[in-house]
Structure 1
Amino acid sequence: MLFRYYIDQVSNFFDLCGPYRFFRSEVPHRARENSTLANAIFALSARLLHWREGLDSYVADRYYHACLQTLIPTLNDSQAFLDDSLLAATVLLRMLEEIDVHIFGSDAQGHLSGLQAIIRATTTTTTAARSPPPSGLRQAASWAAFRQELWMALQTQRPVAMRSRDLDAICGFERDHGFRPADDWVWAQRAVAQFGEALEWAFGAGGGGGGGGCGGGDGDSDGDADAGVEPAAGGEAAWRARLRENAAWRASVPRSYEPFFGGWGDDDDDDEDDGDGERDLGLVEEKPLPDVRFCADLYATAHNYNLFAHMILIVHDPTVPRLGPLRRAAVAAVDRRARNTVRKLVALALANFDASPAALLACMAVILCGDRFAPSPHQGQHDQHQRYRAEQHRFLALLTATEKRHGWPTARARAQLREGWGF
């Protein structure tokens, strides 16, 4: 049961940025001869089934400890980082570690640190003379590890420790990728890389801006410059350049990225060019969520990465005044645009609910920007309160459905949102 569940469901969390579904096809075959990888599969599947169907948590714990018994001794081998099965197992264990935050209340990030070390070692080895090219599984696992690092940086609002440049040697990914014609999976890589660059700007040397950050309010994001972000990463000019790149991705993707059903529309009351090629995203606050469906998980998830990057950039708008009579109106405009983007993330996730990464991104957007879906003391209009209350219920339903469908725990987040919304 656990093996089948991994193949049918769990592998979908990882197979995004490559032409083949290595976590679905190759990892199970390797697990037949590698007990560490097999136990990692069983542990992760059991933990997800615990949250989805109530499977005894002891099952996941037992397989996890069995995995560690064979994993830890291999770490003494200086060549262990070359083992693709070890890298894949560590990626699986890192996801288990992410889920267990909801049990233990904190993230030790032990397996994340291990992934970072493996990626750095792989980068050094790959760039050495006469080194064989990395396998397809290693490339897929490296992209999965990169996405896990971005997830953690977003949760903790800290600088990104692993960068898209680290994937240059491993995966042949060009950091200065541009928007040249490419395979569909390359466009997904570009969306993920742009998301990482938005996080670098917001939480690294870019320093965010006056928009209040992901949590709302008036706080600053003064990230640690030691993470390796270039000095040029900061400033309004860099922010506008990232907005242009974000919009260019949407304008440049091939036709296969278009939905087969529905659309966003083009009648947004905020749909105006700001002089930098960045346009708002075609959704008005008074209309219901659109139904936009894509023919594959790849397209839905890539679009949600692009949307999330857009949201990160607009809530860290450096042009928002920190003081003065224009600040309130500027902050209100940022909040309005953030709400519209969150609605798009949620709409896309609900319409393509089998795309588990897209659902997780939408849930994270709700958690980080949920405070913007509550009337301010200055509003007080009954109809506005009723609209926000309806949206709050819809968002809570998304979080509940994500736990039931994909096994990702959201109970703690739902409780925090309910408290913040005054339920």
Structure 2
Amino acid sequence: MKEASLFRHYIEDLARWFDVCNPHRPFAYAVPRLAASSPLLRKAILAHSAHHISRTTGSDPSLPFQYLEECLALLIPELKNEQVMGVENSALIATIFLRSFGEFEDIASGEFHISGTSLFIQSGGGCESLRRSNKLRNAAYWIHLRQEVGYSVVEQRNIRANLNICPFDASADASSDAGWCNRVVWICVQVLRWAFGDNSTVERHNELTDMIEDWENRRPQTFEAMMDLRGPFDSDVWDKEVWFTNDEHIDALQYLLIAKLILSLHNPHLPRLGLRAQTAYSNSKAMNQFYVRTMCVAAKCSSFVPAKFMACNVLFATGGCFHLKADQENVVDFLRSCERDHGYATKAHVEALENIWAANYQ
């Protein structure tokens, strides 16, 4: 009965997090079927589900770690194969769940059981072999990229993924909202690679800026908010409403704003000295804060929980830049609500931000 309840919680509540932008919904349908014949994958699902319930209800905190240990005992032998194409689907999907498990503990405390997803960093297999493999591997790759964005933002490090094995086809995916959402995720990944990688040239910054502008100009109208009560660059935006139609639309907004934020923070065109530099810095800071506020407000108004987690990650990295008391109070309220209602670890980050703000007032 206990394991059946945990499995049901995964299917009804958690699978949605992983199936965003995938009309086939493999995490809701294919993964449970695969888990029926895979003790490894079943333990990973039970660990993730029990962990989420424990963190949101205060139930037995030892149970998820029991499932985690049992899962790792089965997983480690599977990961001896260093090529992504040689690893069983069940092992590959299990590593996605275990990495999500670690994010709930604290995304900034170090990456947690990611040896499996690190297979996506390897060069083996190549784009066409991954593309031909199956929908589960493609789905796992896209979740890996989304997880990498969170780590990259928090740790300010390069994306750890082999972008040459990406199954993304811009021309083929342009006909659906899911395809347009994945496209902006792909652009965001490219932006983070530019910012924290070895090709941080002005020319590449310009190319990425053009890619974002092109995406915004050509995206379907369905990506527009169905209701948006914000004013332009409104600092008093925290209590406003921003509603989107579907999960992929709020998901796309988060990655779009992260891409814009990173390009702005690393803008090579900003003047460095004199009054022009001060004005440019002030304008850039206002714009960046507006991006972050918008991420939080849109996430708060959405039932798509991963949007809230990604907004938390951005606040972990940028929250110290808010100097208005109202902003700081809303940042704390948002972070605490994500831990209280959804189990995402934010307490240590709230304390760190409060220390930063206190130091700024001294």
> Please, what TM-score do these two structures have when normalized by structure 2?
0.89
Partner of residue 211, structure 1: none
Deviations, residues 176-234 of structure 1 (Å, cap 9, x unaligned): x3798421110111111111011111111244xxxxxxxxxxxxxxxxxxxxxxxxxx1
2:313 is aligned with 1:364: yes
Partner of residue 60, structure 1: 64
Change (3 A) 1:325 1:294: closer
Shift of 1:240: 2.7
Match of 2:118 among 116, 125, 130: 116
Shift of 1:318: 1.0
**Residue identity in the other structure for 1:29:** R
Partner of residue 53, structure 2: 49
CA root-mean-square deviation: 2.6
**Residue identity in the other structure for 2:29:** S
Contact map agreement 2:154 2:314 (CA 8 A) in 1 = no
Contact map agreement 1:264 1:290 (CA 8 A) in 2 = yes
In 1, Cα distance between equivalents of 2:304 and 2:178: 15
In 1, Cα distance between equivalents of 2:308 and 2:82: 38
Contact map agreement 1:179 1:249 (CA 8 A) in 2 = no
2:251 is aligned with 1:248: no
Contact map agreement 1:81 1:118 (CA 8 A) in 2 = no
Match of 1:22 among 18, 21, 26: 26
Match of 2:105 among 100, 106, 114: 100
Alignment gaps of 5+ in structure 1? 208-233, 269-282, 375-387
Deviations, residues 296-345 of structure 1 (Å, cap 9, x unaligned): 11111111111111111111111223344433222222111101111111
Partner of residue 203, structure 1: 196
Deviations, residues 56-81 of structure 1 (Å, cap 9, x unaligned): 22101100011111112223467883
Shift of 1:161: 2.2
In 2, Cα distance between equivalents of 1:401 and 1:160: 28
Q: Secondary structure at the match of 2:29?
A: helix
Contact map agreement 2:82 2:119 (CA 8 A) in 1 = no
Contact map agreement 1:164 1:193 (CA 8 A) in 2 = no
In 1, Cα distance between equivalents of 2:322 and 2:120: 41
In 2, Cα distance between equivalents of 1:295 and 1:196: 24
2:243 is aligned with 1:239: no
In 2, Cα distance between equivalents of 1:132 and 1:314: 33
Alignment gaps of 5+ in structure 2? none
Q: Secondary structure at the match of 2:133?
A: coil
Identity %: 28
Change (3 A) 1:294 1:55: same
Shift of 1:422: 2.5
Contact map agreement 2:98 2:112 (CA 8 A) in 1 = no
Partner of residue 160, structure 1: 159
Partner of residue 9, structure 2: 5
Shift of 1:263: 5.5
2:75 is aligned with 1:71: yes
Change (3 A) 1:78 1:340: closer
Partner of residue 271, structure 1: none
Partner of residue 192, structure 1: 185
Does 80-89 or 393-402 show the bigger shift?
Answer: 80-89
Partner of residue 144, structure 1: 143
Contact map agreement 1:119 1:142 (CA 8 A) in 2 = no
> Please, what TM-score do these two structures have when normalized by structure 1?
0.77
| Number of residue pairs the alignment of both structures matches | 354
Deviations, residues 16-55 of structure 1 (Å, cap 9, x unaligned): 2322211122211211211110111111122222221112
Change (3 A) 1:201 1:263: farther
**Residue identity in the other structure for 2:318:** C
Q: Secondary structure at the match of 1:422?
A: helix
The structure that is helix-richer by fraction is: 2
